[in-house]
Amino acid sequence: MSQVKNERTVDITRVFDAPRSRVFAAWTSAEHLAHWFGPKHFTVPSCEIDPRPGGAFRVCMRSPAGHDFWVRGIFRELVVPERLVIACTAEGERGFARLEEVIDVKFAEQDGKTRVTLHITAAGATAEAAAMLEGMPKSWAQTVDRLNLHLVPKS
């Protein structure tokens, strides 16, 4: 008997009041990514990225309840400062793949600001994956909101 594969796609377009180079750097610098990546109230205690085609992407997101969620992957594409594609796996215990995800991000200048277009596809075969996919639109919307807060100059 074959397992059912649950799939989900999320598309988000947002305009940030920041130069494209700065928004792109927020996605490709571990120092920046650690401050905003993940849903609301999550923290990033570990972030290692090598932003180049074939480079590694490994991030630990910690929930408010203290649970760690590891994401590992590779940069499939990186065109500075226009586009990046990251293929990643949300890991469960002992490195078990809970979810496979491709994050495609495009950066475009728009009247002195930056329009970011995200196209995220994810799939997984377990009931846990189905639950994660159900929450994916909200989680990514919160993640993008956190990116916006990170880009806003602190006064």
* Residue-by-residue pLDDT tens, the chain, 155 positions: 445 579 999 999 999 999 999 999 999 999 999 999 999 999 999 999 999 999 999 999 999 999 999 999 999 999 999 999 999 999 877 777 889 999 999 999 999 999 999 999 999 988 888 889 999 999 999 999 999 999 987 76
DSSP string, 82-112: TEEEEEEEEE-GGG-EEEEEEEEEEEEEETT
Report the C-alpha gap between 123 and 100 in whole angstroms.
5
Q: What pTM was estimated for this model as a whole?
A: 0.92
Helix (H) or strand (E) holding 13: strand 6-16
Please, what are the domains in the chain? 6-151 (3.30.530.20)
